[in-house]
Structure 1
Amino acid sequence: MTIHPLSRFLLARTGLLAITLALASVIVFMACQILPGNIGRTLLGPLADARAVAAINHQLGTDRPLPVQYWDWLGHAVTGNFGTSLALRMPVAPLLIDALKQSASLAGLALVLIVPAGIGAGVCAALRANSLLDRIVVLGSVSLSIVPEFVTALAAIMLFGLRLGWFPVEGSPPDGAGFWTRIDYLLLPTLPLVLVYTGYIARMARAGTLEALNSDYTRTAVLKGLRARRVIVYHVLRNALIPTITVIATQIGYLLGGLVVIESLFHIQGLGNLILSAAKAHDFPVLEAAVMTMAVVYALSAAAGDLLHALLDPRTRRGIA
């Protein structure tokens, strides 16, 4: 029986995704095991009797062999049961869901601003290559991309939050806040991300557009007498934006879980901040669950990028599947 190339591509990517997540789970679990700290001592305090510490470790199963602990942890984790937080004495799953929602709100607003601005600037610069606009886009994108996020974040807080008072300096809106109030609280934390990633996406879009403009299929379309707008929309942009869209998909993972500095500066209780807090408190159940969730988000976003690339460029799935 002949399997469609796209089906073979999906099966291959699904298998690779499963292997990646399995390896990630082992690495996350083992990394948390070698961190300094003792769960029993964390729960009972530094002055607790050694026998009481040993008893609580035995009750929690942390004195069992590591392979047994790993299998038990993985079996519960795949069902959404990540145990109980040692620091907060509550289930980990609600903490994880709330943090993921906060990070998703920040990442979603950032993408809404970054994608059209980055692609638009890159395409316009490529269509006017070597012009003043092109030079401004290239210089601006490179300059903004090399500035660390915490620098632009601090500058944004001091200028737009404290001096001008345009935006709240915290990224967490009060309970019961409406949609536009939440957007207002997230605009200032989003600004550093927009400045960094818009330039990166613009450079990718510019490079892809320039390559498409100089390709044989574009020259053929021009020689056929097609109108310039049709050539640009149906031949240039359709092929030029494939790598850019793939890169955008792979950046979703970082925007959801890698914003520790931004979330800390703006007091956003997102996934990155949850990992930092759990590491400081030696809250191993929360730390394992949050880091594994970040690994899943990264893997899924990378797989989504590969799938988008395959859907937009059939040569990819024919060559790989």
Structure 2
Amino acid sequence: MLVYILKRIVYIFCILAVMSVLIFAITQALPGNVARMILGEFATVDQIQAIEEKLRLNDPLPLQYWRWVSALLTGDLGDSLVMERPVAPLISLSLQRSAILAFMSLFCVASIGITLGVIAAVKHNRAPDYGISFFSYLGISVPEFFWGILIILFFARYLGWIPATGYVPLSEGFGTWLSHLIAPVATLTLTLLANISRMTRSSMLEELGTNYVTAARAKGLPERVVLFRHALRNALLPTITVLAVGVGWLFGGIVVVETVFAYPGMGRMLLFAIEHRDLPLIQAGILIITAIYSLSNLSADLLYAYLNPRIRYGRTIA
């Protein structure tokens, strides 16, 4: 296991190295002139050239890439071209806010989705199964912005129970802070819940039909023990994969939800950076999201080994 973990860490660094080249190349190919975006459309040619010289935007691309990577290795993410502030604090603050949404949504999705999936499998071809399956297909079909709009219209505008948009820090009070999180967390939960419940249901149905479950029941084990100690433990393996992918999406792919609720997280920050062609902010943000995706997949593989002792990474099984 230790050998496997070390290999995966090396692979992660290799992935980040390759991604750094791709990210740098893609950001350099973005349309628009950085200096003109900073100075505005009425800037003169001399002013634009002065900014380009100041920011060293005219240097050869290999030199710019080496300068960026060298700074990354020392922990320097560079300075925002538009806001003229260090990138690291900007990303750190946005990442913290997105992490709040991500982990709260992940907890709700895992707890509710797995529960619904188990109920649907146990009540196979009965009313609960049909109801949960219908909800799952509905959740997959409806985009996240639609759930967000419904929540805003019904719970915020019509009932007035929660704020429609915005974010306040925890220092403003726990109740106020939590009330601003309910709508985006509920939207993200509804978006991912259908996949988790469907995956858990199908995996549980497969495990309930295996020989070891039949043998466990023949031995007289309580149904609760058969379901949760034996069947669910193995059925969770594919569900963990979906959750691991969901972690990366929750950090980097929630720009729609953060835009709908005016939530200042990682996705909205990247959208701002792309709109203003803020290259250091784009490059650092995407690279960090890549690292989160890679670490999420590694965590999923380690959970595989924990939940299923038959899995042994790093050795050959005869």
TM-score (norm 2): 0.93
- 1:292 aligned residue (287, 292, 297): 287
Q: For residue 175 of structure 1, report the CA deviation from its aligned partner.
A: 7.0
Q: Which residue of 2 aligns with 1:213?
A: 208
- 1:308 aligned residue (300, 303, 310): 303
Alignment of 1:51-62 (within 5 A): 51-62=46-57
Q: What is the RMSD of the two structures over their aligned residues, measured on CA atoms?
A: 1.9
Q: Which residue of 2 aligns with 1:148?
A: 143
Q: For residue 40 of structure 1, report the CA deviation from its aligned partner.
A: 3.1
Confirm or deny that 1:86 pairs with 2:81.
yes
- 2:38 aligned residue (37, 43, 50): 43
Q: Quick one: which amino acid aligns to residue 102 of structure 1?
A: R
Which sits farther off after the overlay, 221-230 or 310-319? 310-319
- Structure 1: tracts of 5 or more residues without a match: 1-5
Confirm or deny that 1:130 pairs with 2:114.
no
- Structure 2: tracts of 5 or more residues without a match: none
Which sits farther off after the overlay, 302-311 or 181-190? 302-311
Q: Secondary structure at the match of 2:31?
A: coil
Alignment of 1:41-190 (within 5 A): 41-173=36-168, 176-190=171-185
Instruction: Determine if contact 2:192/2:246 at 8 Å carries over to the other structure.
Output: no
- 2:217 aligned residue (222, 227, 248): 222
Q: For residue 106 of structure 1, report the CA deviation from its aligned partner.
A: 1.1
Distance 1:320 1:149 in 2: 42
Distance 2:253 2:125 in 1: 36
Confirm or deny that 1:19 pairs with 2:14.
yes
Over residues 293-312 of structure 1, what are the superposed CA-to-partner deviations in whole Å (9 max), with x where a residue is unaligned?
22221222122112222332
TM-score (norm 1): 0.92
Distance 1:81 1:198 in 2: 38
Over residues 102-153 of structure 1, what are the superposed CA-to-partner deviations in whole Å (9 max), with x where a residue is unaligned?
1111112212221111000100111111111011111111112210011111
Distance 2:283 2:267 in 1: 13
Q: For residue 23 of structure 1, report the CA deviation from its aligned partner.
A: 1.6
Distance 1:274 1:247 in 2: 25
Over residues 24-48 of structure 1, what are the superposed CA-to-partner deviations in whole Å (9 max), with x where a residue is unaligned?
1111111100012233333344444
Q: For residue 18 of structure 1, report the CA deviation from its aligned partner.
A: 1.7
Q: Which residue of 2 aligns with 1:246?
A: 241
Which sits farther off after the overlay, 292-301 or 158-167? 292-301
Q: Which residue of 1 aligns with 2:191?
A: 196
Q: For residue 159 of structure 1, report the CA deviation from its aligned partner.
A: 1.1
Distance 2:310 2:17 in 1: 29
Instruction: Determine if contact 2:156/2:164 at 8 Å carries over to the other structure.
Output: yes
Instruction: Determine if contact 2:207/2:213 at 8 Å carries over to the other structure.
Output: yes
Q: Which residue of 1 aligns with 2:27?
A: 32
Q: Quick one: which amino acid aligns to residue 42 of structure 1?
A: M
Which sits farther off after the overlay, 55-64 or 28-37? 55-64
Distance 2:169 2:100 in 1: 15
Over residues 266-287 of structure 1, what are the superposed CA-to-partner deviations in whole Å (9 max), with x where a residue is unaligned?
1111010001111111211111
Over residues 65-124 of structure 1, what are the superposed CA-to-partner deviations in whole Å (9 max), with x where a residue is unaligned?
222211211221233322211221111111111111111111122122211110001001
Q: Quick one: which amino acid aligns to residue 66 of structure 1?
A: L
Change (3 A) 1:231 1:174: closer
Instruction: Determine if contact 2:4/2:314 at 8 Å carries over to the other structure.
Output: no
Q: For residue 164 of structure 1, report the CA deviation from its aligned partner.
A: 1.1
Q: For residue 319 of structure 1, report the CA deviation from its aligned partner.
A: 7.8
> Quick one: percent identity of the two aligned structures?
39
Change (3 A) 1:313 1:67: farther
Distance 2:36 2:179 in 1: 43
Q: For residue 11 of structure 1, report the CA deviation from its aligned partner.
A: 2.5
Instruction: Determine if contact 1:17/1:303 at 8 Å carries over to the other structure.
Output: no
| Aligned positions, number | 316
Distance 1:47 1:227 in 2: 77
